[in-house]
Chain A
Amino acid sequence: MPHINEDKIIVSIIDINDLSNEDKNHLLSCDICKEARQTLEHELNQINVMARKFLPARQCCNVTLPEKSRQGLFIVHPAIIAFSLLIIAVIWFPSPAKLYKEYTDNLIIEKALADRDIRGVIQELNEQLLTDMRVDFSENPDSYVNEDFMKFIVPVSIQEDSAGQVNDPVKKN
């Protein structure tokens, strides 16, 4: 069997189970392929070895953790405080939709009031369309038409007689 290629060597390093059984068996039995794999694997593992080696010299685990007892009931998580404040704000302050509704309601009421006032004025004008003197006229349209005035307008000579015929003085002559 030919030696396994470079790609398969890499695949075997990443996860040997991704190789076929045939390739796996070859890798176990072939010294050349085994060495090629070990060399690459060694080089890659050296990265961690070197990284450990060149880490600054220090004392291990220099970490200070929060004191457990301080995390009791009296210390409330900031997220809880923020959430509570948000809830209070939402309850306390009206929502923009509510504000807008109030605003539009007020506008409608104001308009309705203005309309009512205008209607009142119109009605008043309607009722008092004429001045007092004219109202007298309008209430009794014949009040100023007396007999003399009528005689002036329509002379007696052309007035109808009782039989309904017109006495025309001109024709008479």
Chain B
Amino acid sequence: MLKFEKTVGAKPECESNEKIGSGNKRTALFLEAQAGNEVSLNLLVDLFYMDIYRMVYYRIGSDTDSQDITQEIFITMAEKLKSIKEPDKFKSWLFKIALNKVNDFHRKKRFLSFISIDSDEMQNIELKDHQNPEKDFMKKDFYLKLKQFTDNLSKMEKQVFTLRFLDQLDIKEIGLVLKKNESTIKTHLYRAVSKFKNTHGLKDLLGGLR
């Protein structure tokens, strides 16, 4: 059993993403981390933490569970970092790990609800920011409309759409995450965006924010 001892920097805001996010620096950081440099590894975690946490959070809806899963994702990343041959594929590889962990979580939840240990559906996002009710309302509205829209998509369309517009991955990265070629990704994305354009709810909400 591994023991966890080091806590990566607790910063009030995640600024590192912008500072070290450029391609060459990111590659250098990855190579250093792969060579065993702990500082670079921690910087790599800093760099992708919020992206991964957000990705997990909007697929699970629970802050606590999302934190745990994000932790697991980065531990897996640290353990298997040496298996990556191409630094360019690091981001998609990390998202692939994240997607697998999220799927595992859902499988476990489904099993628990099936055997009635945990009957809670993960349908409702946690709304605990009582200091700002207006923000709570908007958050809930956004989440419900996003969920409502994505529930009407096929599984593949949903994955492609959320990876592209929620997680901001490009077509090539999505292809690597889902192990599909780019034209397949574009086809599913086209269908999902067509549905988005012709569906009220989420589109109206987002259009009204201009």
Contact = CB atoms under 8 A, between A and B. Distances in A.
A60 B13 contact: yes
- What bracket does the count of chain B residues touching chain A fall in? 35 or more
Contacts, number: 135
A51 B142 CA distance: 8
A65 B194 CA distance: 42
B193 A13 contact: yes
Interface stretch (B22-30, B45-53, B105-113): B45-53
B99 interface: no
A71 B78 CA distance: 11
A47 B53 CA distance: 16
B84 interface: no
Interface string B156-182: 000000000111100100000000000
- What bracket does the count of chain A residues touching chain B fall in? 35 or more
A56 interface: yes
B143 A65 contact: no
Interface string A21-60: 0000000000000000001101111111011101111111
Given A11-B190, A46-B206, A60-B14, A65 B75 contact: yes
A75 B3 CA distance: 11
Contact of A61 (B45, B186, B202): B45
Contacts of B186: 14-15, 18
Contacts of A70: 2-3, 5
Interface of A: 6-7, 10-11, 13-15, 18, 39-40, 42-48, 50-52, 54-68, 70-71, 75
11 contacts: A6-B197, A13-B193, A14-B186, A48-B168, A51-B58, A54-B138, A54-B143, A55-B50, A63-B70, A66-B3, A66-B78
Interface of B: 2-14, 16, 36, 38, 41-42, 45-46, 49-50, 53-54, 57-58, 63, 67, 70-71, 74-75, 78-79, 126, 128-129, 135, 138-139, 142-143, 146, 165-168, 171, 186, 189-190, 193-194, 196-197, 202-203, 206-207, 209-210
